[in-house]
């Protein structure tokens, strides 16, 4: 028996119309997949006697995908927030051993259960805004034991809630204190062997890195990418966030699914990304928190046809943001994305940034993961600030928020 969602405005995000909008639309769902989408007046005879579900004229979009988060971490960095407000910069705090390294200390000290318990309410905040797929990175362990613990905690989150979790190994995130001044030795002796161990345990869906003057050079990241390539794991990269290091060009040479942050990326980088089908992941939460002024080259991304995703970058330091809706709003206000680009950024293009061909748009054959919003037009989703109009969240063809 199929379920027929009817009396809906459907933003399929497919086809040539803005938002792929179908007014007075309907969706047929069966076996966890979308079987049919179209005008209510054209529902195929086949579905005539199937289970109807009245959407009450509400808007249906693909469920949201948060394609870049650091949801698993110990402690928090509210004190660093205070320090920054007194004038210290993110880079100064990092160089003085705070920043990412202070979270490393707290993450090493936490048990797997504690990491899971701490992450659950953050993940629930994403779920409350219609997220059904979330990417979660390691990178606050920087030793084998803690990196594996973080990845296992991420996998465990998927057992605790109806959500799909995918994981990125981010061993090349920062240089741990025990390797201070010796990033190369850290890459060779810890990062790469840990990646191999984590991959052998089925814990790694993507390999990520932080290519930055306060982290790793493009050459160092390349050594990690070579191992990812041998393992057959796709790569993505935090590149050109605080300065231009050539990480984006490197990422494109390895066919990266995405280059993330990219505030300091150039037009040349944008053309390379277009050629390698690399998505630009726009992270306005970090731009906002760090009071960055350099904007990503959005015009160049448009000119070369680089798809843009939008994500929270949820993390305890540079982006304590747990709202994809607010990330959409910020992407519009800071970077002049259109509300349609912002919505594509948390659905279709976020799916592409994760290499997930099964979701992100509402077309037959895709996963029946969708969100039903109490709004009349999709532009309202990016427009409102601090307001959540989610009415229902469906994952694998089941309503997870209906009682
Ligand atoms: N860039 C970021 O924005 C996060 N990691 C990274 O490489 C920040 C992580 C943190 O400050 O804890
Ligand atoms: Fe990040």
- For residue 380, the model assigns a pLDDT of 98
- For residue 218, the CA-to-ligand 1 centroid distance in Å is 17
For the residues 184-190, what does the mean pLDDT come to? Answer: 98
Ligand 1, from 96, 210, 213, 251: best to mutate by most atoms within 8 Å of Cβ? 210
Under a CB-based contact definition with an 8 Å cutoff, are residues 167 and 206 in contact?
yes
Q: Using CB atoms within 10 Å of the CB of residue 14, give its burial: 0 to 12 exposed, 13 to 18 middle, 19+ buried.
A: middle
By C-alpha distance, which of 126, 19, 116 is closest to 62? 19
Q: pLDDT tens across 241-268, in order? A: 999 999 999 999 999 999 999 999 999 9
Residue 1 has a pLDDT of: 86
Residue nearest to atom 11 of ligand 1 (CA): 317
pLDDT score, position 393: 98
Q: Which residue has the tokens 């050109």?
A: 240
Whose CA is closest to atom 2 on ligand 1? 318
35 pLDDT above the threshold of 90: yes
Confidence at residue 399, expressed as pLDDT on a 0 to 100 scale: 94
- Mean pLDDT across the stretch 29-51? 94
- The arithmetic mean of pLDDT across residues 232-246, rounded, is 98
Residue located nearest, by CA, to atom 4 of ligand 1: 318
pLDDT in tens, 292-333: 999 999 999 999 999 999 999 999 999 999 999 999 999 999
What ranges in 86-190 are assigned the alpha helix state H?
A: 90-95, 100-109, 112-127, 144-160, 183-186
**Average pLDDT over all residues of the chain:** 97
Mean pLDDT of 61-88: 96
Rounded distance from Cα 180 to ligand 1 centre (Å)? 18
For residue 337, what pLDDT is reported? 98
Closest atom, ligand 1, to C-alpha of 318: 11
Q: For the whole model, what pTM was predicted?
A: 0.98
- Measured CA to CA, the distance from residue 368 to residue 40 in angstroms comes to 18
Mean of pLDDT values over 16-34: 97
Express the helix, strand and coil content of the chain in percent, nearest 5 each.
40, 20, 40
Distance from CA of residue 250 to its chain's centroid?
Answer: 21
Of all protein residues, the one whose alpha carbon is nearest to atom 8 of ligand 1 is 318
For position 50, what pLDDT does the model report?
86
- Tens-digit pLDDT profile for residues 94-130: 888 889 999 999 999 999 999 999 999 999 999 999 9
Q: How far apart are CA 277 and CA 280, in angstroms?
A: 10
Query: Residue 401's pLDDT is what?
Result: 84
Binned at pLDDT 50, 70 and 90, residue 48 comes out as confident
How many A from CA of 57 to the centre of ligand 1?
41
Q: How far apart are CA 33 and CA 366, in angstroms?
A: 6
How many angstroms from the chain centroid is the CA of residue 148? 20
Among 65-69, 93-97, 210-214, where is mean pLDDT lowest?
A: 93-97
Which residue has tokens 């760090």? 290
How far is Cα 13 from Cα 222, in angstroms, rounded to an integer? 35
Half-sphere exposure of 308 (CA within 13 A, CB side): 31
Q: Is the pLDDT score of 175 beyond 90? A: yes
Share of the chain above pLDDT 90, in %: 96
Atom of ligand 1 nearest to the CA of 139: 5
40 burial level (CB within 10 Å; 0-12, 13-18, 19+): middle
Q: What is the tens place of the pLDDT at every residue in 123-150?
A: 999 999 999 999 999 999 999 999 999 9
Q: What is the predicted pLDDT for the residue at 226?
A: 98
């Amino acid at each position: 028996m199929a379920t027929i969602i009817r009396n809906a405005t459907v933003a399929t995000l497919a086809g040539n119309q803005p938002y792929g909008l179908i007014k007075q639309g309907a969706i047929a769902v069966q076996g966890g997949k979308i079987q049919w989408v179209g005008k209510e007046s054209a529902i195929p005879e086949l579905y005539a006697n199937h289970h109807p579900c009245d959407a009450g004229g509400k808007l249906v979009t693909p469920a949201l995908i948060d394609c870049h988060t650091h949801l698993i971490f110990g402690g928090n960095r509210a004190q660093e927030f205070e320090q920054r407000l007194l004038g210290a910069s993110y880079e100064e705090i990092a160089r003085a051993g705070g920043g990412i390294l202070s979270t490393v200390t707290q993450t090493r000290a936490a048990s797997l259960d504690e990491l899971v318990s701490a992450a659950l309410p953050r993940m629930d905040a994403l779920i409350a805004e219609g997220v059904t797929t979330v990417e979660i990175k390691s990178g606050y362990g920087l030793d084998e034991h803690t990196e594996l613990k973080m990845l296992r905690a991420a996998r465990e989150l998927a057992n605790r809630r109806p959500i799909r979790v995918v994981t990125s190994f981010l061993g090349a995130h920062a240089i741990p204190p025990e390797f201070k001044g010796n990033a190369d030795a850290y890459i060779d002796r810890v990062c790469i062997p840990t990646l191999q161990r984590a991959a052998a345990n089925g814990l790694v869906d993507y390999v990520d890195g932080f290519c930055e003057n306060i982290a790793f050079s493009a050459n160092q990241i390349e050594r990690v990418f070579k191992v990812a390539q041998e393992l057959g794991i796709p790569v993505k990269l935090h590149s050109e966030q605080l300065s231009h290091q050539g990480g984006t060009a490197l990422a494109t040479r390895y066919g990266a699914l995405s280059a993330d942050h990219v505030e300091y990326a150039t037009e040349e980088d944008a053309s390379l990304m277009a050629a390698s089908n690399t998505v630009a992941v726009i992270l306005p939460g970090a731009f906002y928190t760090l009071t960055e002024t350099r904007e990503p080259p959005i015009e160049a991304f448009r000119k070369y046809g680089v798809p843009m995703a939008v994500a929270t970058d949820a993390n305890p330091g540079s982006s304590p943001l747990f709202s994809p809706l607010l990330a959409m709003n910020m992407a519009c206000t800071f970077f002049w994305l259109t509300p349609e680009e912002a919505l594509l950024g948390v659905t279709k293009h976020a799916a592409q940034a994760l290499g997930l061909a099964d979701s992100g748009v509402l077309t037959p054959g895709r996963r029946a993961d969708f969100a039903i919003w109490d709004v009349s037009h999709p532009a309202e989703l990016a427009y409102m600030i601090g307001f959540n109009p989610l009415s229902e969240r469906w994952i694998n063809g089941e309503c997870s928020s209906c009682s």
